[in-house]
A and B are shown apart, each in its own frame.
Chain A
């Protein structure tokens, strides 16, 4: 079994990311990142075969990847496009508990005959803070932004139905930093 992680983003600026940053700048200005980008994150547990299985799925279902308006990236540790080395970047990965979307897509793709045991639909947010901030500071700010506690604290996930994994992404040649 091999798990492939595919990030899908709009070719145009992402309206959800712009709206999220606007909302955060109003309710949590101290924790609001300077740059915020958003990806649909798809995880495919492929039972037999390699990346070509995922490519076939992406080619068949425009609801996952519409090449007219979206592009996909196979995640493997390299920096995502647009990540400026002068900034400190934090990843926030949002997963639904008992995800109806994941269950639905697992069923649809399994019925279509693809050798995929499970599909998980997630959202990946990339938060960029000025490079002068320490790793601890950005992890703390990203943690506050990631989990909704009240109307004025947190935004990116609802802790009742979702989990948020917050981490400094590992890069080639670095050891990475532990998240929380």
Chain B
């Protein structure tokens, strides 16, 4: 029997179907669960994914309303019991607003995903970027099958800039195992500026973990890079080259760079 993974759909989520499909392709039983499902119906799931979208129309602040939804009581409870939780894009915003990440003082809001800060631009930004798993992130169920080579993934958001309380240094984050994914150049060098750091995120962070590693909040969309055919042929680096070579061949239907997130969880749960 495949381990069950709940994809929690809020009003305004818009990536739940492809996220559930990516989980199923990884050998998991990805199922969409609505925000108003009974808490008891969530107990059987081994892991949870909060998908991307615009929950509650981003009213007040992205993720702020969904974080206070009743279903998040159950998700927080499951996370504290050690069940893996992934938030993608709007899901990451919900996890930050829930106080699940960085989770230094569990339940307390200690980070923000602020509006993008990039020269001469404002608002929503969508493009492909490269990320690398941070040192120590292999302890996470969501990243344990990733190597440290650059992973191309798409981003699409207006509020994706990780911020921490003033005075927080990179050493503070590393000592608590917070960094999960960092934006990088196509060759793997750290990304400092736009467009490779697409939103001005602190320490070029694209994703953060709670201290246990079980909760991952990431802004890029791995489910939109689940298959090789989703990779733009013009992308620099090995994935772009692989994509170009696969054109017109069966290989184009092979797993893409984002599949590593879902296959990590499958391996962690003994299904991969």
Determine the residue in chain A with the shortest Cβ distance to B161. Answer: A100
Contact A100 B118 (CB under 8 A): yes
Interface-facing stretch out of A2-10, A77-85, A132-140, A146-154: A146-154
A96: chain B residues at CB < 8 Å are: 114-115
Interface-facing stretch out of B105-113, B227-235, B258-266: B105-113
A149: chain B residues at CB < 8 Å are: 108-109
CB contact under 8 A between A156 and B60, given known A100-B115, A104-B123, A151-B68:
yes
Contact B114 A150 (CB under 8 A): no
B contact residues, range: 35 or more
Contact A27 B68 (CB under 8 A): yes
Min CB gap B61→A, angstroms? 6
Contact A98 B117 (CB under 8 A): yes
Contact B107 A101 (CB under 8 A): no
Q: Mark A69-109, 1 if CB is under 8 A from B, else 0.
A: 00000000000000000000000000011111101110110
A162: chain B residues at CB < 8 Å are: 112
B122 within 8 A of A: yes
Contact B109 A150 (CB under 8 A): yes
B138: chain A residues at CB < 8 Å are: none
B65 within 8 A of A: yes
Contact B200 A100 (CB under 8 A): yes
Min CB gap B200→A, angstroms? 7
Min CB gap B124→A, angstroms? 11
B203 within 8 A of A: no
Contact B112 A160 (CB under 8 A): yes
Which one of A15, A97, A104, A161 has the highest number of Cβ atoms from chain B below 10 Å of its Cβ? A161
Min CB gap A163→B, angstroms? 11
A51 within 8 A of B: no
Residues of A within 8 A of B (CB): 15-16, 19-20, 23, 26-27, 96-101, 103-105, 107-108, 111, 148-152, 155-162
A107: chain B residues at CB < 8 Å are: 119-120, 122
Nearest first, the 4 closest Cβ-Cβ pairs linking A and B are: A104-B122, A161-B112, A100-B115, A160-B112
Contact B112 A151 (CB under 8 A): no
B119: chain A residues at CB < 8 Å are: 107
A160: chain B residues at CB < 8 Å are: 109-112, 163-165
Contact B114 A151 (CB under 8 A): no
Contact A23 B65 (CB under 8 A): yes
Contact A15 B59 (CB under 8 A): yes
A105: chain B residues at CB < 8 Å are: 122
Determine the residue in chain A with the shortest Cβ distance to B105. Answer: A150
19 contacts between A and B (CB under 8 A): A19-B56, A19-B60, A97-B163, A100-B114, A100-B122, A101-B122, A101-B123, A103-B122, A104-B120, A105-B122, A107-B122, A151-B97, A155-B60, A155-B64, A155-B68, A158-B64, A159-B109, A160-B110, A160-B111
